[in-house]
Structure 1
Amino acid sequence: MFIATNLDDLFVLMIFFSNKEFKVKQIVLGQYIGVMALIAISALSYFLKLVIPVNWIGMLGILPIIIGLKNLKDLKDNKDISANYNINEENKGFFSKFRNSKSSLVALVSFTNGGDNIGVYVPLFASIGLHQMLVVISVFIVMIAVWCYISFNLVENSILGDKIKKYGHIILLFVLIFLGITILAHNF
């Protein structure tokens, strides 16, 4: 189930890994936070018997579009788009630093791209027992690491990786816009 619902994340992760402005640990942390947020919402629906409408999550598709368009404008104006991801050192708290970090962008993209996963995870979690749900979540935690490892190694591949590294920062802008449009289209 993880592979089926997160196959598109391989491509998105490759784009992030190819961008020199993102460190590996920022990408991995962001991916874990994004996917775990999806799992937490789905698990919450099991415990509370609350089904969160996927359309509500789908509305977050506007965020990657905004980020992509802003960075595309900055790229067109010959501005350094990496400045859009810098951590504001004046904020001392963990959450304010995270909110302004590159990891938060990865988490946001992972979360909004996985909004449709909730539609799959909620019925799964609602139909299995607590012990089985813990096993599924454990497998998902391991699979996030596997996904990051595969994506990183594809970028490090001399044939594929060089192209992604050269054009990945530009491709990311269009991927963000496309993801946002796709998420919105699937939910309305």
Structure 2
Amino acid sequence: MSPGIIGQPAGLFAVTNIDDILVLALFFAQGAGHRGSTGRIVLGQYLGFAAILAVAVAAAFGATFLPGSAVPYLGLLPFALGLKSAWQAWKDPREGGGEEKARAEGGGPTPLEVAAVTFANGGDNIGVYVPVFATAGAGGMSVYAVVFLVLAAVWCSAGRYFATRPVVARGLARRGHILLPLVLVAIGLLILVEGGAFGL
């Protein structure tokens, strides 16, 4: 397989998913110290991205499971999760032993939370992927799908790498409980506003 065949999907993935690294780093920081959190975050990332690929591939073949008018409303997912995360950050310090309880129960983000944010944040990517997939044909789509799924693992590794750097980790440990809700709410609002949801 020539470098050009891999390079095009790799470039498309990088351009359309660069903001995911920050979100993943925040998720990994939130899950730090919780048993099994890395696996849950990676699973969630793959579930969300697989859903994006499935919708894009189906649309390239002419099936539309997700009307274009519905895409802006995907912003409600990260917005709601951001509000939930903010509520938990406000509430937990007031509960005795909240941190120990969370660790014992395998705290951190759930796969479905990560998947929802990944899918919502990549909802607008579907509009970019569909024409590319449609012109690539079945063989080309397979190459794109394989490269995208490999790079999803690279993105998870990069997010975990940044979250575990000593300077970054200290900052996220102090401010991550504030940053994660802010980032999720901002992503949600951006998707809603840019897509013109609710007449915004």
The TM-score with structure 1 as length reference comes to 0.83
What is the correspondence of 1:110-121 to structure 2 with a 5 Å cutoff? 110-121=118-129
In 1, Cα distance between the equivalents of 2:183 and 2:161? 20
- Structure 1 letter corresponding to 2:25: M
Q: Choose 166-175 or 134-143, whichever is displaced more.
A: 166-175
> How do residues 49-64 of structure 1 correspond to structure 2 at under 5 angstroms?
49-50=63-64, 52-64=66-78
Supply the distance in 1 between the matched residues of 2:48 and 2:88 (Cα, whole angstroms).
Answer: 26
Shift of 1:58: 2.0
Matched, 1:152 2:155: no
Residue of structure 2 equivalent to 1:5: 16
Secondary structure of 1:170's partner?
A: helix
Greater Rg over alpha carbons, structure = 2
Amino acid at match of 1:181: L
Aligned length in residues? 173
Aligned partner of 2:90 among 57, 76, 80? 76
- Structure 2: unaligned runs, 5 residues or longer: 1-11
The one-letter code matched in structure 2 to 1:162 is R
Residue 52 of structure 1: how far off its partner (Å):
4.0
Amino acid aligned to 1:61: G
- Alignment-derived partner of residue 186 in structure 1: 194
Once residues 88 and 24 of structure 2 are traced to their aligned partners in structure 1, the CA distance between those partners, rounded to angstroms, is 22
Query: Which residue is equivalent to 1:29?
Result: 43
Residues 56 and 72 (structure 1), Cα distance of their counterparts in 2 relative to 1, 3 Å cut? same
1:104 equivalenced with 2:112 (yes/no): yes
TM-score normalised by structure 2 residue count? 0.78
3-state SS of paired residue (1:159) = helix
Q: Corresponding residue for 1:14?
A: 25
- 1:50, CA displacement in angstroms? 3.9
Change (3 A) 1:51 1:37: closer
Per the alignment, residue 94 of structure 1 pairs with none
Structure 1: unaligned runs, 5 residues or longer: 88-100
Two-structure CA RMSD over aligned residues (Å)? 2.3
TM superposition outliers: structure 1 runs of 4+ over 6 Å:
none
- 1:91 maps to which residue? none
How far does residue 33 in structure 1 lie from its aligned partner after superposition?
0.6
Conserved in 1, the CA contact under 8 Å of 2:81 and 2:113? Answer: no
The residue aligned with 2:137 is 129
CA distance in 2, matches of 1:143, 1:16: 18
Alpha-carbon distance in structure 1 between the residues aligned to 2:154 and 2:19: 14
* 2:171 paired residue among 155, 159, 163: 163
Please tell me the residue identity of whatever aligns with 2:168.
L
Provide the C-alpha distance between the structure 2 equivalents of 1:114 and 1:160, rounded to a whole number of angstroms.
25
